[in-house]
């Protein structure tokens, strides 16, 4: 009884303390799929978007938040603020002395980073680096020629819009009547986006005009989430998303299958698009594939170190005996980035990192052989082969090679195409 009395006393004290302790909601790790309002956004030197919320950083379009000061250490050493006011990438072709810098604004200070290292002499006062630009900014975005009349930075504070000429340091005040006040802004794929709350609008950097049906939900285009807003149009979202594809292939009938996160797009020969969850058509896979390839009227899906196989039809039939180990099916260990077969119908070509391998599907056991480097890309997200050659997806762009040989051995970068526009017909 005495022990029970002591335990009850400790419990009562603990409950009393818990009522008095105030929990700071900002200390919780943010979830990008919960309609967040980002503090700042910028694209790094490799074209990967960075989104900042409180003291956290989201890299790219998916993945968990991490502490911002783990990547940009000095932000925390100089300012224990827990947030970034604004950010942009400073890089202009007409200014060769300037590198790919990421510029941050915190209160009245500006920080300049090159390769994630704070440059000597920073932080500095905003007035010293960008004279005439106010403190406590809402957003900032770079605007190179000819997208702006001169290489410029656009600064946002409330209703005030400042076009700052990088060369002359002159300021041109603008009035963007049709655009809401931006809480963050960034330039991506030569387009300009104003994020306001968890919504966004695409705008003309010279006039601020917003064309099309905006605002739109940011999660539908800049996040890879398993669930979206109730008003989300799945076909519209998947064909216009800025999140890179995980895998893409065509079957023997010429139908295209493009996979991203929990969803996939199906495009038939009439260019009719349908969007479905992966689980609805390929329930054994569930979601998140690494690579998909077509071989002898079957679809093969690689997820982690296993391969799932389906017979193509009105409903895709899961083949008995699958999933099988990746090593057994393709003769290779570990994560792969893409796989595809071409006209010979005997080999599957596997991309892992910047190398490509050949797998003879008639061999037993199978082995990934003939390793050779791919010259023009360091990383690739997806690839497929068709009658006109090899198509490779890197980020939000794709590249076409007339043959497998040109893809592997070529040194010249082919013409760049936009995935949303030219692969899926998205006009915004």
pLDDT given for residue 315 in this prediction: 82
CA–CA gap between residue 386 and residue 399 (Å, rounded): 13
**Could you report the per-residue pLDDT of 314-364, keeping only the tens digit for each?**
788 999 999 999 999 999 998 999 999 997 678 999 999 999 999 999 999
323: helix, strand or coil: coil
**Could you report the per-residue pLDDT of 189-203, keeping only the tens digit for each?**
889 999 998 899 999
pLDDT given for residue 229 in this prediction: 67
Q: Are strands 298-303 and 291-295 parallel, antiparallel or unpaired?
A: antiparallel
Give me 59's structure tokens: 């890299």
CA–CA gap between residue 141 and residue 206 (Å, rounded): 12
Least confident of 3-12, 149-158, 267-276, 328-337: 3-12
Neighbouring residues of 320: CB distance < 8 A, sequence distance ≥ 6: none
Higher pLDDT, 234 or 367: 367
- The residues of the chain that CATH labels 2.110.10.10 are 30-222, 234-423
Judged on CB neighbours under 10 Å (0-12, 13-18, 19+), 297 is exposed
pLDDT given for residue 32 in this prediction: 86
30-222: what fold? Hemopexin (2.110.10)
pLDDT given for residue 193 in this prediction: 95
Binned at pLDDT 50, 70 and 90, residue 412 comes out as confident
pLDDT given for residue 16 in this prediction: 40
- Mean pLDDT for 235-249 is 92
Beta strands in 74-175, from DSSP E residues, in sequence order: 86-90, 101-106, 109-114, 117-118, 124-125, 139-143, 152-157, 160-165, 171-174
- Mean pLDDT for 148-165 is 95
Share of the chain above pLDDT 90, in %: 60
**Could you report the per-residue pLDDT of 251-267, keeping only the tens digit for each?**
888 899 999 999 999 99
C-alpha 83: how far from its chain's center? Answer: 21
pLDDT given for residue 22 in this prediction: 37
CA–CA gap between residue 361 and residue 368 (Å, rounded): 10
CA–CA gap between residue 176 and residue 187 (Å, rounded): 17
Residue 225 has pLDDT above 70, yes or no: yes
- Mean pLDDT for 42-51 is 88
DSSP assignment letter at 25: G
- Mean pLDDT for 85-110 is 81
pLDDT given for residue 25 in this prediction: 43
CA–CA gap between residue 354 and residue 139 (Å, rounded): 37
CA–CA gap between residue 345 and residue 294 (Å, rounded): 10
Give me 287's structure tokens: 């979601």
CATH number for the domain whose boundaries are 234-423: 2.110.10.10
- Mean pLDDT for 143-157 is 94
């Amino acid at each position: 009884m005495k022990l029970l009395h002591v335990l009850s006393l400790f419990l009562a004290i603990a409950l009393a303390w818990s009522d008095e302790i105030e929990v700071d909601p900002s200390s919780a790790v943010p979830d990008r799929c919960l309609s967040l309002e980002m503090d700042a956004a910028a694209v790094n030197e490799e074209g990967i978007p960075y989104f900042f919320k409180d003291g956290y950083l989201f890299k790219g379009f998916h993945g968990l938040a991490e502490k911002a000061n783990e990547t940009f250490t000095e932000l925390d050493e100089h300012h224990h603020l827990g947030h970034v006011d604004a950010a942009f990438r400073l890089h202009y072709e007409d200014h060769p002395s300037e590198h790919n810098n990421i510029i941050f604004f915190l209160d009245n200070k500006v920080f300049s980073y090159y390769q994630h290292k704070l440059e000597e002499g920073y932080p500095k006062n905003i007035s010293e680096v960008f004279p005439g630009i106010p403190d406590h900014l809402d957003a900032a975005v770079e605007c190179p020629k000819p997208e702006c009349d001169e290489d410029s930075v656009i600064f946002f504070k409330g209703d005030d819009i400042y076009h700052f000429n990088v060369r002359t340091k002159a300021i041109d005040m603008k009035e963007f009547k049709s655009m809401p006040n931006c809480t963050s802004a960034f330039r991506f794929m030569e387009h300009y986006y104003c994020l306001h709350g968890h919504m966004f609008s695409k705008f003309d950097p010279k006039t601020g005009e917003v064309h099309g049906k905006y605002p739109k939900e940011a999660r539908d285009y800049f996040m890879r989430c398993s669930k979206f807003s109730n008003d989300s149009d799945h076909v519209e979202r998947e064909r216009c998303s800025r999140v890179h594809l995980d895998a893409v292939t065509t079957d023997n009938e010429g139908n295209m299958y493009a996979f991203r996160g929990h969803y996939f797009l199906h495009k038939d020969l009439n260019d009719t698009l349908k969007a479905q969850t992966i689980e609805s058509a390929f329930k054994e896979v569930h979601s998140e594939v690494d690579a998909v390839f077509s071989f002898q009227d079957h679809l093969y899906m690689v997820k982690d170190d296993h391969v799932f196989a389906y017979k193509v039809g009105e409903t895709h039939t899961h083949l008995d005996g699958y999933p099988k180990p990746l090593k057994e099916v393709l003769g290779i260990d570990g994560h792969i980035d893409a796989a595809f077969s071409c006209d010979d119908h005997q080999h599957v070509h596997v991309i892992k990192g910047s190398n490509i391998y050949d797998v003879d599907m008639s061999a037993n056991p199978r082995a990934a052989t003939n390793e050779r480097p791919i010259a023009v890309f360091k990383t690739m997200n997806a690839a497929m082969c068709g009658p006109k050659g090899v198509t490779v997806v890197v980020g939000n762009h794709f590249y076409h090679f007339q043959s497998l040989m040109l893809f592997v051995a070529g040194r010249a970068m082919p013409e760049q195409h936009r995935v949303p526009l030219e692969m899926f017909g998205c006009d915004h």
